[in-house]
Amino acid sequence: MIPKVFKEVIDLGDGREISIETGKLAKQAHGSVVVQSGKCMLLCTVVSNYKQADVDFLPLTVDYREKFAAAGRYPGGFFKREARPSDGEVLTMRLVDRVLRPLFPKDYHSETQVMIQLMSHDEDVMPDAMAGLAASAAIQLSDFPFECPISEARVGRVNGEFIINPTRAQLAESDIDMMIGASADSVMMVEGEMDEISEEEMTEAIKFAHEAIKVQCAAQVKLAEAFGKKDVREYEPERTDEDLAKKIHDMAYDKVYAVAKAGSSKHERSAAFAEIKEEIKASFSEEEQEDFGGLISKYYSKAEKAAVRDLTLNEGLRLDGRKTTDIRPIWCEVDYLPSTHGSSIFTRGETQALATVTLGTSREANQIDMPSFEGEERFYLHYNFPPFSTGEARPIRGTSRREVGHGNLAQRALKGMVPDDCPYTVRVVSEILESNGSSSMATVCAGTMAMMDAGVQLKKPVSGIAMGLISDADSGKYAVLSDILGDEDHLGDMDFKVTGTADGITACQMDIKVKGLSYEILVNALKQARDGRLHILGKITDTIDTPNEDVKEHAPTMVSRRIPNEFIGALIGPGGKVIQEMQKETETTIVINEDPVTEEGIVEILGVGKKGIDAVMAKIDSLLFKPQVGSIYEVKVIKMLDFGAVVEYTEAPGNEVLLHVSELAWERTENVSDVVNMGDVFDVKYFGVDPRTRKEKVSRKAILPKPEGYVARPPRENNDRGGRDNRGKDNRGRDKKRDDRKPRGDK
């Protein structure tokens, strides 16, 4: 039986469309859709167990995968099967998760899985921009308890005009690359990179994307209604006890408020809060503690959150004693590690990042191999967050999604300031040694200083700051918090990170937890972030204000040279023999790439010390050496032969030419050694290619004065040996061909 298909089409306004279809594929999933734009097709399925898991959080898994078959390609590597997700896939998972998770009820704890797959690829469509739409549309067709439809959209700006879901080609020309996640009523997530734009421009981009998202949300509602909206499933809610909640609030609030107002350190504050919690628990009998289960801890946490928020809204004070606009104390240092190419320490309060820089050739570029994109990165940043940074002991099982996301944010913040003509591949690694609030922004600051310490000629230094928001809808009060603590991250209504130079924003990441946040508050928050960012930037430039002019003595120097395409093979040599020997002798690394436009060879020479690099450059100069007809060159004898001497141009070692015995001197020369010997250095004149021998001709005698009475030898006559005109004749002019021979067929 042919299945009934339901479909909605979204007009993007410029001739492009996005369609959402259901009813044909994956019908055993609790919800499934195919989202298509051009030839790009995403399949999204959602499933949630009907039994609540025994946990106190939502066990939601968002999985996004790009199938190589979608682009007509094979997976790279030995095993021809898709394996662990790439960083690009992980980043898309995080974008979708951050918008979906807050819209499930807080007491919904069923195992839930959202799977999004790229099934067909289109070069002109970036699939990650449709992943949020696909996830939400599939959930709308399910019976999950989910607040409202959402969607995500990418916004770019080319020549001053905003574009929704730009192509990769358009994005290359854009000065904005932002992903916005929102419902019809509220913006919930923003992440992206910009080319030093203002706070107002960023807000306008968010507004533009939100208008497009409203249309996408409406299309999901229409599709669900046409398909048949399912009744929301019933699930066992968490146990509640309002009397218990009020009792614990009354017991804890004033004590927590007093500790919060004391402005103590993280460990002192945590110990004091833990003591209050234990006192409250001890006030209940063992039977009551067993009966109430986790409610005591839950209601204590609510009371603690309320007290800390009220302290900030009522008195403008924060957990560590700062006012809302205060930045924690900062100290910085560069050139801390003696063996790295560049290093720095950035410490802000109880957050510390140690950054290192390594310089390399194009061979060390980060290769990106995804079905939707193939390329390389000549600048990349890796972020590590070990458990000791928060005083914890836990197993380390590979790179976490959080580490991938934070590293990507810092990379996007900095990459626009790495000049296009930087000859190096630059790798920055950030090791978080302490963490209590925004280690990703500490990474941006440490990365800036480490690159300047390494001699990377950054266009401008970049700093970053993490901000928070606490608001009360009833009273209309709100407080924007500069440089938030870890504790302030989860108790606030918005946390956002902004990076930039003195002239504008380069990257941002926002998670907005309050509904209907006004754009006025958003602009005010961004402007306060700018003040904090510039304060931090001042601390950075006090430590190192400009990039070092040169790399460190132990760091490699990079020199690039272009050579004509026809010389690439000679420089490499048979089986790579020439280039391998050259690298070994000069202790350098040599990489040769071909310019796809000019087809020239681009030679990268990386070496510590000038001597080795100069030797390679001399070899290239020698390879490219072309003597000019009529010019005089200095040569050195490197080989003696019976009929001449092999000489080498002293300005181009390795370039050899035969100096014939007849060109040594005006006088007749019987033995080559009568005139020159091994190692002799003298001048010769270059005559180009001899038309008779078809070999290059040089002469020593041509630049010597003729001896007195010298008589040139007469030209040789061809009267006794035969020549081209008497081939087939004997010396008497008779034809040697026998005319009495008959064809074989006549025998």
Annotated binding site: 489, 495
C-alpha dist (Å) from residue 642 to 507, 662, 666: 74, 11, 18
User: How many residues are recorded in the chain?
Assistant: 747
Q: What are phi and psi of 20, to 5 degrees?
A: -120, 125
Q: Annotated binding site for Mg(2+), which residues?
A: 489, 495
Which residues make Cβ contacts (< 8 Å) with residue 591, sequence separation at least 6? 361, 362, 363, 603, 604, 606
The Cα 189–Cα 522 span in angstroms is: 12
The one-letter code for the residue type at 320 is D
Q: What are phi and psi of 663, to 5 degrees?
A: -105, 10
Q: What are phi and psi of 406, to 5 degrees?
A: -65, -40
The one-letter code for the residue type at 576 is G
CB atoms under 10 Å from CB of 315, counted, come to 12
User: Ramachandran region of residue 221, left (φ > 0), alpha (ψ -120 to 50) or beta?
Assistant: alpha
User: Ramachandran region of residue 592, left (φ > 0), alpha (ψ -120 to 50) or beta?
Assistant: beta
Q: DSSP 3-state assignment of 682?
A: strand
Q: How far apart are the two ends of the chain, measured CA to CA in Å?
A: 87
Q: Which two tokens stand for residue 636?
A: 């050195």
The answer to whether the CB of 361 falls within 8 A of the CB of 606 is yes
* Short-list 418, 465, 420, 429, CA closest to 445: 465
Q: DSSP 3-state assignment of 303?
A: helix
* Short-list 381, 401, 392, 390, CA closest to 437: 390
